[in-house]
Structure 1
Amino acid sequence: MMDPGLTILTAMITPAVLISGAGAILMSTTTRVGRVTDRIKHYTDRFRALVEGDHLDGTLATAEKEMIMGQLEIHSQRSRMLLRAMTGLYVAISLFVLASVLIGARELTQGTTGVLPTVIAVLGSLSLAYATLMLSVEVRLSAKASRQEMNFMLRLGERYSQLYDETHSPSGQAAARPVR
């Protein structure tokens, strides 16, 4: 026959493992929130500089402003997704802790809590699932933002490469660029 103390401990460990997993996800999500906040600040500062400054190439400045506005929209969506995920993770952790406490209390008091600890643990699992779904959406938004920024940087590189070729060609005209 199994030791009752061991049974209690075993029943309480399952929510504790889930708490640990949710906590690890929460820590990485907190880091991501900080990175999104930094990106938003960077783009806001860069946009302010573009609006206030004189620019040699107005077309590129306009394109950069448009790219920044698109980035700000994506990063604000990312921020909302991350906040939803964090809320889901905090709720999940709270529910797992509550389930663990109820399991322990039931065993210590020889009371009956019925299916309440199980229902609470299932709700915690659903909250954890919701949070990971939000994180998967946020990852896709992050990839979209990176693609847009890279596309702009490629356009910028092409433009400045063309300006360099025009400035440094012997006849003052654009030098023939090798075909790749």
Structure 2
Amino acid sequence: MALNEKEILEALSSTRVLTSMITPAVLISACGSLIFSTAARLGRIFDRVNSYKAELEGLIAAKLPYPEERFAYLEQQLQRQRIRARLIQRSLAALYTATGLFVASSLGIAFNVAFGSAATSWIPTAIALLGGLFLFASCAILLYESRHNLAFINRHLDFIDYLSKSSRDANKDS
């Protein structure tokens, strides 16, 4: 076996490669958890939009009271869900990009240990830092989206209060 091949084999079998690749692996796992929970949020938006569709169909069929108020409410809530879905999609795109960059960083570490030099050791670090920026951007987008979710919930509660009060008032008048 040539000396160069022996050095490469020793470098690849070294624990240095595995220990260097652990940090990106932890970040990949963190991105995976965020992707899972963010995709679930998107699914909940889809479910809410479907329930609004059913309510709209009930309004069109004239089966629900307070049609004008309900139409206005549904229009506002559907617009908020559209914004939330767009934000969550952007967050997911950033999370997938971060995951890809962390995988690339992990592979870059392995290749640098095996074939690189001190002059190229900055490359995997730069890739990981870029992945960290995408992870941060995703978290910032999700934080912003959570404010829209809170506004959605508050508007929903306000409308429930309105329906409850209107129903009580109508029963008093009867």
Fold shared, TM-score > 0.5 on shorter chain = yes
Q: What whole-Å deviation, never above 9, does each CA across 1:39-64 have from its counterpart, x for those lacking one?
A: 11111221132123255x4xx21111
SS at match of 1:145: helix
Distance 1:65 1:119 in 2: 51
Q: How does 1:61-76 map to 2 (within 5 A)?
A: 61-76=67-82
CA contact under 8 A between 1:102 and 1:113: conserved in structure 2? no
Q: One-letter code of the match for 2:22?
A: I
Distance 2:131 2:63 in 1: 54
Q: How does 1:89-128 map to 2 (within 5 A)?
A: 89-111=95-117, 113-128=120-135
Determine what percentage of the aligned residue pairs are the same residue: 30
Q: One-letter code of the match for 2:69?
A: A
Shift of 1:33: 0.5
Q: Of 48, 61, 65, which residue of structure 2 is paired with 1:39?
A: 48
Aligned to 2:163: 156
Relative to total residues, which structure has the larger helix share, 1 or 2? 2
Distance 2:63 2:30 in 1: 51
Aligned to 1:80: 86
Please report the RMSD computed on the Cα atoms of aligned residues, expressed in angstroms: 1.7
CA contact under 8 A between 1:15 and 1:100: conserved in structure 2? yes
Distance 1:32 1:160 in 2: 32
Q: One-letter code of the match for 1:66?
A: A
Q: What whole-Å deviation, never above 9, does each CA across 1:102-159 have from its counterpart, x for those lacking one?
A: 1011112355633111111011000000111111111110110111111011010001
Alignment size in residue pairs: 162
CA contact under 8 A between 2:112 and 2:121: conserved in structure 1? no
Q: What whole-Å deviation, never above 9, does each CA across 1:68-96 have from its counterpart, x for those lacking one?
A: 10000000000000000000000000000
The structure whose RCO (Cα within 8 Å, separation 6+) is larger is 2
SS at match of 1:53: coil
CA contact under 8 A between 1:81 and 1:135: conserved in structure 2? yes
Q: Is 2:62 the partner of 1:53?
A: yes
42-51 or 75-84: which moved more? Answer: 42-51
TM-score (norm 2): 0.87
CA contact under 8 A between 2:17 and 2:113: conserved in structure 1? yes
Q: Of 10, 13, 21, which residue of structure 1 is paired with 2:22?
A: 13
Distance 1:90 1:31 in 2: 15
Structure 2: stretches of 5+ with no match in the other structure: 1-9
